[in-house]
Amino acid sequence: MAETASQTITTAAAPERVWSIAVDFEQYPDWAKDVKDVIVRARDAEGRPIEVEFRASALGRSTHYTLAYDYTAAPNVLAWRMLRGDIMRTIDGSYHFSPTPEGGTEVRYDLAIELVVPLPGFVKRRAEVRILNTVRELKIRSEA
């Protein structure tokens, strides 16, 4: 059974800026602390990455996974699902971008992960905090 988590933040950056950072996967290692390497494996007819391989630190080790991205609701939603992974069975998630009246962006990050090996609750909670840090790092990057 997949574990789910959600985080919502508000950034002072305009939705277009936040979107452009979120879809620039090759730059993730520059701002997302746990992402170590990114390779775009495939692009759609518009040049957008649709298959992206990640190497990230997770639970004290390095993990590899490949995500398929869905731009159907772009630029309001960026959704993904896992194609391949070494320690996960599934990774499904999405960013939801909503403009704020002040000209900023509310970002909701939803994630569902199922690991191959079950983990104790305290380890899962620690991993969840690290994963949800990505949305805070997106805020910092977008406001820089």
Respond yes or no on whether the N-terminal peptide bond of residue 15 is cis (omega within 30° of 0).
no
Beta bridge partners of 114: 90
**pLDDT mean over 33-61:** 92
pLDDT band, very low/low/confident/very high, at 120 (cuts 50, 70, 90):
low
The total number of structural domains in the chain stands at: 1
Q: What token pair was written down for 90? A: 């599934």
pLDDT at 57: 85
Query: What's the pTM?
Result: 0.89
User: Given CA atoms 83, 31, 124, 56 in this order, what sign does their dihedral have?
Assistant: positive
- Looking at every residue in the chain, the average pLDDT score rounds to 89
Range list of H helices, 12-144: 15-22, 28-31, 121-143
CATH code of residue 60: 3.30.530.20
- Residue range 56-81: average pLDDT? 91
pLDDT tens digits for 5-30? 899 999 999 999 999 999 999 999 99
What is the Cα–Cα distance from 118 to 108, expressed in whole angstroms?
27
Higher pLDDT, 122 or 140: 140
Segments forming the whole domain that contains residue 7: 3-143
pLDDT at 122 over 90: no
Residues paired with 94 in a beta bridge: 79, 110
**What pLDDT was estimated at residue 121?**
59
Residue 123: pLDDT over 80: no
